[in-house]
């Protein structure tokens, strides 16, 4: 499928990996439908390198913090989207009723009374703090690996203690 998509010369594309879903998704979808990130990111990077594609590869689904982002970039992603984590940063309390329009904190609703519970200013400040902290951590992760930028991380910076992962990817066994 990816090779077919690349024929249209996209500027970017996003692949949703395991662990992703919205609060509206049934658990059996969230937990069992999607692609395992560690295998998917490596396979996609190899295809991009082989085809010479310049498309930006964004990955999402189950990534929560700076270490998840750093690992995804080291495996070959160009960017990582954080959906659930971003929602939590602005005040989501994970009621998982987004699809009902009755979000009690006022994020996923059009109900005027429920919307009053959501402070755009406070949420923007929390999200800004989360983003700055994440960026600071990514800068630190780059530096402790001897790099100036997190995007300099590569496959040789990642190791696994799983025989299965090592046998099915080019990730070194520690």
For 53-94, the pLDDT digits (tens) are: 999 999 998 899 999 999 999 999 999 999 889 999 999 999
Residue 112's domain spans which residues?
Answer: 2-173
- Summarize pLDDT for 32-41 with one digit per residue, the tens: 777 889 999 9
Residues in a beta bridge with 12: 56
Confidence band, pLDDT 50/70/90 cuts, at residue 21: low
pTM for the structure as a whole: 0.89
Quote the pLDDT of residue 35. 81
Q: Which residues contact 67 (CB under 8 A, 6 or more apart)?
A: 137, 141
* CATH code for position 43: 3.20.20.70
Query: CB-based contacts of 173: which residues, under 8 Å, 6+ apart?
Result: 159, 160, 161, 163, 166
Domain tally, the chain: 1
Q: Which two tokens stand for residue 70?
A: 């750093």
Q: What percent of the chain has pLDDT over 70?
A: 96
């Amino acid at each position: 499928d990816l090779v077919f998509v690349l024929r249209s010369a996209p500027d970017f594309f996003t692949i949703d990996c395991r662990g992703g879903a919205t609060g509206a998704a049934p658990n059996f979808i969230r937990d069992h439908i999607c692609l395992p990130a560690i295998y998917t990111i490596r396979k996609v990077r190899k295809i991009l390198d082989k085809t010479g594609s310049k498309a930006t590869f964004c990955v999402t689904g189950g990534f929560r913090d700076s270490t998840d982002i750093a690992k995804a970039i080291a495996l070959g992603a160009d960017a990582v989207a954080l959906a659930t984590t971003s929602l939590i940063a602005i005040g989501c309390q994970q009621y998982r009723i987004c699809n009902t329009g009755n979000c009690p904190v006022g994020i996923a609703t059009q109900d005027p009374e429920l919307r009053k519970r959501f402070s755009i200013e406070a949420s923007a400040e929390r999200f800004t703090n989360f983003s700055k902290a994440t960026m600071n951590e990514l800068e630190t992760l780059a530096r402790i690996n001897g790099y100036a930028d997190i995007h300099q991380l590569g496959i040789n910076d990642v190791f696994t203690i799983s025989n299965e992962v090592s046998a099915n990817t080019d990730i070194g066994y520690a």
